[in-house]
Structure formats: structure tokens, C-alpha cells
Amino acid sequence: MKSILFIATLLLTAGVNAAPACPALLNFSLTDIHGKTRSLCTYAGKVVLVVNTTSQCGYTGQYKGLQALSDQYGPRGLVVLGLPANDFGGQEPGSNVTIKNFCEVGYQVNFPLFAKTGVTAANANPLHEALAKTTGERPRWNFHKYLIDRSGTRVLSFASHVDPQSKDMVQALESLLKAKPGAAKLAQTGE
């Protein structure tokens, strides 16, 4: 009898400490900037900001704002994911090593960066494909932003020109950080 109670206690304790289930929008693996495969399920339960980045664009200065958001809101559950892409204007021609060094030295980026990838319909990585299907919006240029809620069911879309620290972005971010997972299904803003 004692062994059955012990096993039941272990099972209940494991359920309490279990990580959040992986939502479909994060149920992908991508290669990070260091060449390692990373499961995006790691970010389940967090507010996730996905940005297609470049090193040679008029919006490249947004790295500073993205890092500021990561620093300010990371402790509250935000994770910024940078996905470099060379899809628009050939503005990310460098290797992953070059991109990593550019981001770390020029903008002190320490949020997760992934290997150079595609974001357009012709060659979108699986995450961007899912985000485009969910919101009905694909990136039209570099630094398009998708903000995913903690449950992975609500996605806000922000056009490239929207500064990461703009009033609209910060209000949306604050709202998603306060909301409980699963509170809403889908919303869009942007383009």
C-alpha cells in the first residue's frame, strides 16, 4: 500500500512541475546561430517576439530596441527570437558567424539568434509559414514582428516600420505578459 501511495505522490508531483504543453505555433525545431538544433517548445509558456532581422537595412537599428525589450521584459516572460533572412534586398549576405559577431559587437544582442533562414512564401521556415497562416500576413520586408501570447494561440503582427519600443508594441507586449495562457484566440495589427 505504501508503494502505491508513493508512486501516486510522484505522479502528482510530476504533473505539478511539468512544463507547459507545446503549442502548435512553437512545435518546430530550428538551427540556432551556433549550428545547433533547438526546439521552440522550450519557449512554451512565454510571450515570444519573432523578428526577421538583417544587418544592412534601414531598420537594422531596431536591434537596439529589441535588446532593450529583452532586457526589460525578459524577467517577466518575454523571449525575443531573431531570425536573420536575406529575402529582401539581399540585406543579409553574411555567414552565420558574421551575423552573430555583428549583432553581439554592434548591438550587444544576447537574445536567441537563429541561423540565416527564409521568411517569404517561396522559402519560409516552418515557424514563419505557421505565423503567416495564423495571421494572414507575411513579412513584406525586414524586421517584421510577430508577437505570440503565452498559450501560443494569439498572434499580433507588426509591420517593419513599427519600432520595437513604440507605444503600440509596448502596450501589446504588456497586455500579453499580464494575460493568462489561452485567454484569446487570434488578433492582428500592422501592415
Active site residues: 57
C-alpha to C-alpha distance for 120 and 41, rounded to whole angstroms: 23
C-alpha distances (whole Å) from 125 to each of 2, 19, 103 are: 51, 25, 21
C-alpha to C-alpha distance for 134 and 102, rounded to whole angstroms: 32
Torsion over CA of 10, 17, 110 and 75, rounded to 10 degrees?
-140
C-alpha to C-alpha distance for 130 and 121, rounded to whole angstroms: 11
C-alpha to C-alpha distance for 146 and 127, rounded to whole angstroms: 11
